[in-house]
């Protein structure tokens, strides 16, 4: 089985070739940062156009690098949602047409299932069951994962996703788009103790909330600016204090969710999984409390084609054939997925 994976749900074009038994043969990701930076955020129409320009050459490139002839592909997997509908349509129509021409099944993959399974590309791969912390720009979920397609969401954000909060706070601090990684970089030079910020809903439940924290940061920024103290040092201290509050909140919820579900394995995935402070805090805690922790390498945390190729291979192995229709679902809950029959 050799699966070509295509990811175009948002602002990264990704492609990869995954072979069962051999692993990842080739992968490539092209970021659209430069396209959207002048606008301070993602412009959906520009995202679609850039995917159109980049995708076909990228497919040729990964196939060459993998040493795979297009005729050897057994499946073409693509992100069918959730995401920006125009962007999704680029990958979906390319994948479905290619599959039709090659007479192989096309597999529409749920983007978050891709993130969820990405840690399994690492060695050692986590075994089922596990608790997943899925933290990206659009989602913040705690998922009880019993097997492929057997997902129960035990905690979710009531407002902003944590990646979105990183991006919004970055904007408050006038950092260039994309904000999350820039904010994390600035936080490295700051003191997390300088500003006391809330750890929202820390005392109860598994749901998350980040809009109050974002407002608290905005008030600090405004107060510091009004008093003429918003210099580099202060901006770094605000970034560090925010990052500490967001990471603490995630850590508290993970610990509670492990206790409540009785699971002893935590898998972290999604773009915010690339955050160094989160990785260090959870790493120390896993050591102290004796739970297993799986973090994919940062490049497998952010959007990529490898996770889509891999999720497609898992679905194909479980016997799921192609639907022979173009799937692009901007909104799609992970809990609507079904285990293979
Ligand atoms: O999974 P992803 O690449 O795309 C989505 O599916 O959303 O996640 C992107 C999100 C963005 O909000 C970005 O700011 C955040 O992940 N992010 C980070 C870091 N790297 C990416 N947030 C905090 N620290 C990082 N190092
Ligand atoms: Zn993503």
pTM value is 0.93
Burial label for 129, CB within 10 Å (0-12, 13-18, 19+), is: middle
Integer Rg of the chain from CA: 20
What percentage of the chain has pLDDT greater than the value 70? 98
Q: What is the pLDDT of residues 32-81, one digit of tens each?
A: 999 998 998 899 999 999 999 999 999 999 999 999 999 999 999 999 99
Give yes or no for residue 184 CB within 6 A of ligand 1: yes
Cis previous bond, 124, omega within 30: yes
Is residue 88 scored above 70 in pLDDT?
Answer: yes
Task: Decide if 150 contacts 132 (C-beta within 8 A).
Answer: no
Closest CA to 112 of 292, 265, 222, 270: 270
Give yes or no for residue 270 CB within 6 A of ligand 1: yes
Residues 6+ positions from 309 with CB-CB distance below 8 Å: 3, 4, 5, 16, 17, 18, 24, 27, 77
Give the residue whose CA is nearest to atom 10 of ligand 1.
Answer: 137
Is residue 243 scored above 70 in pLDDT?
Answer: yes
Give the residue whose CA is nearest to atom 21 of ligand 1.
Answer: 271
- 292-294/265-269 β-pairing: parallel
Nearest atom (ligand 1) to Cα of 301: 1
- Report how far ligand 2's centroid is from the alpha carbon of 119 (Å): 13
**CA 230 vs CA 174, 192, 249: distances in Å:** 11, 16, 26
- Report how far ligand 1's centroid is from the alpha carbon of 270 (Å): 7
Mean pLDDT value across residues 108-134: 96
Half-sphere exposure of 304 (CA within 13 A, CB side): 28
Q: What is the pLDDT of residues 289-307, one digit of tens each?
A: 999 999 999 999 999 999 9
Nearest atom (ligand 1) to Cα of 164: 12
Residues 293/299/301/303 CA torsion (nearest 10 deg) = -160
Q: What is the pLDDT of residues 181-229, one digit of tens each?
A: 999 999 999 999 999 999 999 999 999 999 999 999 999 999 999 999 9
Is residue 323 scored above 60 in pLDDT?
Answer: no
Is residue 310 scored above 90 in pLDDT?
Answer: yes
Give the residue whose CA is nearest to atom 24 of ligand 1.
Answer: 275
Tell me the ligand closest to 135's alpha carbon: 1
Give yes or no for residue 167 CB within 6 A of ligand 1: yes
Task: Decide if 180 contacts 297 (C-beta within 8 A).
Answer: no
Q: Which of 302, 303, 330, 334 to mutate to test the pocket of ligand 1 (most atoms within 8 A of CB)?
A: 302
Burial label for 69, CB within 10 Å (0-12, 13-18, 19+), is: exposed
Give yes or no for residue 14 CB within 6 A of ligand 1: no
Tell me the ligand closest to 246's alpha carbon: 1
Give yes or no for residue 137 CB within 6 A of ligand 1: yes
DSSP helix/strand/coil, 15: strand
Q: Give the tokens for residue 75.
A: 């499946």
Nearest atom (ligand 1) to Cα of 83: 6
Give yes or no for residue 181 CB within 6 A of ligand 1: yes
**CA 322 vs CA 54, 95, 157, 161: distances in Å:** 25, 11, 33, 32
Q: What is the pLDDT of residues 259-271, one digit of tens each?
A: 999 999 999 999 9
Name residue, tokens 């997390």.
192
Name residue, tokens 């009785």.
262
Nearest atom (ligand 1) to Cα of 112: 6
Q: What is the pLDDT of residue 321?
A: 57
Q: Which of 177, 271, 308 to mutate to test the pocket of ligand 1 (most atoms within 8 A of CB)?
A: 271
Tell me the ligand closest to 271's alpha carbon: 1
Query: H/E element holding 140?
Result: strand 140-147
């Amino acid at each position: 089985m050799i699966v070509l994976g295509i990811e175009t749900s948002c602002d990264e074009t990704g492609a990869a070739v995954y072979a069962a038994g051999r692993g990842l043969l080739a992968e490539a990701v092209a970021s659209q940062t430069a396209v959207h930076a002048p606008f301070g955020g993602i412009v959906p129409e520009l995202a679609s156009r850039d995917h159109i320009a980049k995708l076909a050459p990228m497919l040729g490139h990964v196939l060459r690098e993998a040493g795979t002839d297009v005729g050897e592909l057994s499946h073409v997997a693509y992100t069918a949602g959730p995401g920006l509908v125009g962007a999704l349509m680029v990958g979906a129509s390319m994948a479905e047409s290619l599959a039709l021409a090659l007479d192989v099944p096309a597999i529409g993959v749920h983007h978050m299932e891709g993130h969820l399974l990405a840690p399994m590309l690492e060695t050692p791969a986590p075994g089922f069951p596990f608790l997943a912390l899925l933290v990206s720009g659009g989602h913040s979920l705690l998922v009880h994962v019993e097997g492929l397609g057997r997902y129960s969401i035990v905690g979710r954000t009531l407002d902003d996703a944590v990646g979105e909060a990183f991006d919004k706070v970055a904007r408050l601090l006038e950092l260039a788009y994309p904000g999350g990684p820039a904010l994390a970089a600035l936080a490295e030079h700051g003191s997390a103790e300088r500003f006391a910020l809330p750890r929202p809903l820390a005392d109860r439940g598994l749901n998350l909330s980040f809009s109050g924290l974002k407002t608290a940061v905005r008030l600090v920024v405004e107060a510091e600016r009004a008093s003429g103290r918003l210099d580099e040092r202060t901006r770094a201290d605000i970034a560090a204090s925010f990052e500490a509050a967001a990471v603490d909140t995630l850590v508290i919820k993970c610990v509670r969710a492990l206790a409540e579900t009785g699971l002893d394995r935590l898998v972290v995935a999604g773009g915010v999984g690339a955050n160094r402070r989160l990785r260090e805090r959870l790493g120390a805690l896993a050591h102290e409390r004796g739970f297993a922790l799986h973090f994919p390498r940062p490049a497998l945390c952010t959007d990529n084609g490898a996770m889509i190729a891999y999720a497609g291979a898992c679905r194909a192995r479980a016997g799921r054939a192609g639907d022979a229709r173009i799937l692009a679902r901007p909104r799609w809950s992970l809990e609507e997925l079904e285990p293979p029959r």
